[in-house]
């Protein structure tokens, strides 16, 4: 089996605030056609500040800012230090203007490369009754 894949950086987060801005590179911009018909987006981005051997070798973490969290495996956490520095966030779409996508509640830092955007579809993606350990109930939601 191949051991690696190559991800293209399709654009980046150019502003990270109450409202965030994603700027898609002109060559991929057409991929946002009719995106505004969705209210929420799945944004996959690159934790560019964690793309190094130390962070990418991390297999256990104590989730930060979650009081009382035990040590868990990285796959049981949303830690940015993980074998593949891929960030995942559901963001609320505000508007699309040309190659610029404006969203709310994106947790990516300014400068983060964006590697995919997908529409959020509740019947596939919303599981309100999902069970989680208690430490996830407090602190940052992501």
Of residues 83 through 112, those in contact with a copy of itself by CB under 8 A are 83-86, 88, 90
How far apart are the C-alpha atoms of 113 and 22, rounded to whole Å?
9
Minimum CB distance to a copy of itself smaller for 34 or for 65: 34
Q: What CA–CA distances, in Å, run from 40 to 53, 79, 116?
A: 33, 22, 14
Minimum CB distance to a copy of itself smaller for 68 or for 142: 142
Residue from 26, 68, 98, 133 that binds a copy of itself (CB under 8 A)?
A: 133
The string over 86-111, giving b where at least 16 C-beta atoms fall within 10 Å of a residue's C-beta and e elsewhere, is ebebbbebeebeebbbbbeebbbeee
How far apart are the C-alpha atoms of 9 and 15, rounded to whole Å?
17
Residue from 17, 30, 53, 67 that binds a copy of itself (CB under 8 A)?
A: 30
Total of chain residues touching a copy of itself, rule CB under 8 A = 71
| 73 touching a copy of itself, by CB under 8 A | yes
How far apart are the C-alpha atoms of 33 and 47, rounded to whole Å?
26
Residue from 19, 38, 94, 109 that binds a copy of itself (CB under 8 A)?
A: 38
Residue from 39, 64, 97, 98 that binds a copy of itself (CB under 8 A)?
A: 39
Position of tokens 């801005």? Answer: 21
Rounded to a whole number of angstroms, the minimum distance from the CB of residue 17 to a copy of itself is 19
Are 5 and 86 spatial neighbours (Cβ–Cβ below 8 Å)? no
Which residues within the stretch 43-72 sit at the binding site for a copy of itself (CB under 8 A)?
44, 46, 48, 51, 56, 59-60, 70-72
């Amino acid at each position: 089996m191949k051991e690696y894949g190559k991800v293209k950086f399709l654009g980046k987060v150019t502003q990270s605030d109450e409202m965030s801005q994603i700027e898609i590179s002109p060559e991929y911009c057409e991929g946002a056609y009719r995106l505004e018909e969705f209210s929420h987006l799945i944004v996959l981005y690159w934790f560019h500040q964690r793309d190094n051997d130390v962070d990418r070798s991390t297999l256990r973490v104590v989730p930060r800012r979650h009081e009382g969290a035990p040590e868990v495996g990285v796959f049981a956490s949303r830690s940015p230090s993980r074998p593949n520095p891929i960030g995942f966030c559901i963001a609320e779409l505000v508007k699309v203007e040309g190659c610029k996508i404006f969203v709310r509640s994106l947790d990516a830092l300014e400068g983060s490369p964006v590697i995919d955007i997908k529409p959020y579809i509740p019947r596939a993606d919303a599981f309100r009754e999902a069970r989680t350990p208690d430490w996830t109930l407090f602190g940052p939601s992501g």
